[in-house]
Chain A
Amino acid sequence: MNDKKTLGEMLTERGVSRRTFLKYASYTASIMALPPTAATAIAQGIANARRQSVIWLSFQECTGCTESITRAHTPSIEDLIFDFISLDYHHTLQNASGHAAEEARMQAMQENAGEYIVVVDGSVPLKDDGIYSTIAGITNLQMLEETVKDAFAVISVGSCATFGGIPGANPNPTGAVPITDIVTDKPVINISGCPPIPEAMTGTISYLLSFGSIPELDHLNRPKAFFGEAIHDRCYRRPFYERGMFAKSFDDEGARQGWCLFEVGCKGPVTYNACATLKWNGGTSFPIQSGHGCLGCSEPGFWDLGGFYKPLSTAKGDPLKWAGGAAVAGAAVGAASAIMARNKRNKILKEGK
């Protein structure tokens, strides 16, 4: 991180051509829905930037987010993103281990106080003083508070860090919470998804490097460029939804014809993400294109939405669980009221006599 060279100089030294670099800048500008002129701004911003110190904290997570970011598909983008940033601490990717790893984190924090970015994947357990997840003898909560204290910004990646994810799913045994529950005095950018789309992560980091500011966010702190539209609205199967043509199972004629997967539980209508446009694995496909409904993985509480294969328009849980009791109670009260009315009538008739 003591590198005084600009990123532009470093890239030139490594033989990255200006053409390749501009292609990357244009691509980033376009996936973030920025005007074409922003490509130049991104190129200049990144070229003139110093390497950005990034501390990546992994808490209650599965490393899927890291797997995802290392599969960003633009040619050489993987190299680029790790050249743009100085990844000073990352359990999976760093060479150091044990005390040396923790020292690297401390050193990065001291040398770049107020400037470094903290990326967090995984939720933080709070129950029983947070003992359910500890690293280097301290709880995740302690490590997070200590690390974000002097950070410039925090990026939560993955649905565990952004919304609690699977650790936070009912019954949430560890008391897992998202990062925004803990970090309230710093900008937190949420890049949700299980895992998030690699370009959503690299694009957001590139934006931060280029403009030194936070991109426009939605009400859940997610960059609007990637989370501005529902999957359903950009889904290539949408015309079948409008025409009322639905696959009834994963293996019927409708499924083979590429009809809408609403009836087999697709959560596309309430899921905001860029899967239908950016796609995965080098733009190859995305879950719906592969024949499976959207799980809604980039939305809060997606694990507890009532079942991956239960259509969105069905009731959650069993709405008839009290139906029998309700019918019996209704019949009892109805009979009682009728008997009371009869008694009242008889009484009036008797008194009349």
Chain B
Amino acid sequence: MELLEFARGPALTFAITVFIAGVVFRIVSLFLLWRTKDSSAGSSRERSAFSAAIREIIRRLWPQSAYKQRTLFMLINGYVFHFGLAIIVFFLLPHIVFFKDLVGLSWPSLPNNVIYAISIITIVSLIAALVMRLSNPAQRIISTFDDWFSWLVTFLPVITGVIATSHLGARYETLLGLHILSVALLLIYLPFGKLMHWFLVFVTRSQTGAHLSHRGAQL
């Protein structure tokens, strides 16, 4: 119970504080950076920045035919665990109750057993992503600490959540404490690595779209 109290209290407060400070720091520092004005004449096919940004976001939702065969599994797998994670985080009642307590908003939940099944699919999908990274020599070579650690801090909350729900190995309060601590670890690390794509994915894609469109790429 002491572990759970520590996790629900000081650990979570500290993690949320670091998370907010880190995310604001990353966003402010990014947007205040000097941006070199591109003075070159744009392509005749150049679209407005907004239109290019939207088109790029949509275009990247599915692989181009030239790469389809090589990337389709990775892409589908990516969708599976991203949607899986989102459903688990936002539609399990204990999670909704957490958000309600935090920000005052709540919404309907899904039955626990449905979330449980989605969690298992998500775990398999995350393991598949890791196996692909390990088995592809090129990907393995370019992987850094950030890649491995980001995977780990994403995986831990899911696996500890499932173990806690299943009452495996230890008492529920211990498992729940470990689950919350794993979420704290995720929140602390999130702003400082590639997981910052939580906030920046569409920002970077928009920028890429505007840039490519200026150069005349067909979006």
Interface residues of A (CB under 8 A from B): 230, 232-233, 241-244, 246, 262-263, 269-270, 299-301, 304-306, 310-323, 325-327, 329-331, 333-335, 337-339, 341-342, 345
Q: Roughly how many angstroms separate A263 CA and B95 CA in the complex, as a whole number? A: 11
What's the Cα separation between A335 and B9 when bound, in Å?
31
Contact of A333 among B18, B25, B172 (CB under 8 A): B25
Q: Say whether, besides A243-B111, A244-B112, A342-B33, A334 and B28 are in contact (CB < 8 Å).
A: yes
Task: Taking A314-B102, A315-B12, A326-B21 as given, write out 11 further A-B residue pairs in contact, using a Cβ cutoff of 8 Å, ordered by the A residue number.
Answer: A244-B111, A305-B5, A311-B97, A315-B8, A315-B9, A315-B101, A317-B9, A320-B16, A323-B16, A326-B20, A341-B33
Q: Are B29 and A334 in contact (CB under 8 A)?
A: yes
For B9, the closest partner residue in chain A by CB is: A316
Tell me if B110 and A331 are in contact (CB < 8 A).
no
Determine which residue in A305, A313, A333 has the highest number of CB atoms from chain B within 10 A of its CB, and name it.
A313
CB of B28 within 8 A of CB of A335, answer: yes
* B23 partner residues in chain A, CB cutoff 8 A: 330
Which interface residue of A269, A314, A325, A334 has the most chain B CB atoms within 10 A?
Answer: A334
* Bound-complex Cα distance A119 to B67 (A): 76
| Interface status of B27 (Cβ within 8 A of chain A) | yes
Closest to B97 in A: A311
Chain B contacts for A331, CB-based, 8 A = 24-25, 28
Residue of A nearest to B33 (CB): A338
Within 8 A of A (CB), among B132-191: 167, 172-173, 176
A242 lies within 8 A of B98 (CB)? no
Q: Is B1 an interface residue (CB 8 A)?
A: yes
If A242-B113, A244-B112 touch, does A322 touch B9 (CB 8 Å cutoff)? no
Q: Give A334's nearest chain B residue, CB to CB.
A: B28
Known: A262-B93, A315-B9. A338 touches B32 (CB 8 A): yes
The answer to whether A262 touches B111, judged by C-beta atoms less than 8 angstroms apart, is no
Measured in the bound complex, the distance between the Cα atoms of B80 and A188 in whole Å is: 53
Residues of A within 8 A of B172 (CB): 230, 232, 269-270
Q: Are B102 and A320 in contact (CB under 8 A)?
A: yes
Chain A residues lying within 8 Å of B16, measured Cβ to Cβ, are 315, 319-320, 323
**Residues of B at under 8 Å CB distance from A?**
1-2, 4-5, 8-9, 12-13, 16-18, 20-34, 93-95, 97-98, 101-102, 109-114, 167, 172-173, 176
CB-based contact A326/B98 at 8 Å: no
Residues of A within 8 A of B24 (CB): 326-327, 330-331, 334
**CB-contact partner of A301 in B5, B13, B33, under 8 A:** B5
Q: Which of B5, B21, B112 contacts A330 (CB 8 A)?
A: B21
- When A242-B113, A321-B13, A342-B34 are in contact, do A314 and B98 touch as well, CB less than 8 Å? yes
Chain A interface main SS type: helix
Q: Quote the shortest CB–CB distance from B16 to chain A (angstroms).
A: 5
Q: Contacts of B95 on A, CB cut-off 8 Å?
A: 313
| Residues in chain B near residue A270, CB distance under 8 A | 1, 4, 172-173, 176
A and B contact pairs by CB, cutoff 8 A, 12 listed: A233-B167, A246-B93, A263-B97, A313-B98, A314-B102, A317-B13, A330-B20, A330-B25, A334-B32, A335-B28, A335-B29, A339-B32
With a cutoff of 8 Å between Cβ atoms, the chain A residues found around residue B173 in the complex are 269-270
Q: Which residues of chain A are near B25, meaning CB under 8 Å?
A: 330-331, 333-334, 337
Q: Which residues of A contact B33 (CB under 8 A)?
A: 338, 341-342
* Chain A residue contacts of B22, Cβ below 8 A: 330
- Chain B residues contacting A320 (CB-CB under 8 Å) are 16, 102
Q: Assuming the A-B contacts A301-B1, A313-B97, are A326 and B17 also in contact, with contact meaning beta carbons closer than 8 angstroms in the complex?
A: yes
CB distance from B162 to the nearest CB of A (A): 14
Taken together as a complex, chains A and B put the C-alpha atoms of A313 and B114 apart, in Å, by 19
In the complex, the answer to whether B111 meets A242 with C-beta atoms within 8 Å is: yes
Once the chains bind, are B12 and A241 in contact (CB under 8 Å)? no
Most buried by A among B26, B98, B110, B173: B173
Q: Is B21 touching A327 in the complex (CB atoms < 8 A)?
A: yes
Q: Decide: A330 and B28 in contact? CB cutoff 8 A.
A: yes
CB-CB under 8 A from A338, the residues of chain B are 28-33
- Whole-angstrom distance from the CB of A232 to the nearest CB of chain B? 8
In the complex, the chain A residue whose C-beta lies closest to that of B112 is A242
Residues of chain A lying within 8 A (CB to CB) of residue B26: 334
Residues of B within 8 A of A316 (CB): 5, 8-9, 12
Determine how close the nearest CB of chain B comes to the CB of A273; give it in whole angstroms: 13
Q: State A232–B34 Cα separation when bound (angstroms).
A: 57
Q: Roughly how many angstroms separate A301 CA and B31 CA in the complex, as a whole number? A: 47
B108 to chain A, nearest CB (A): 9
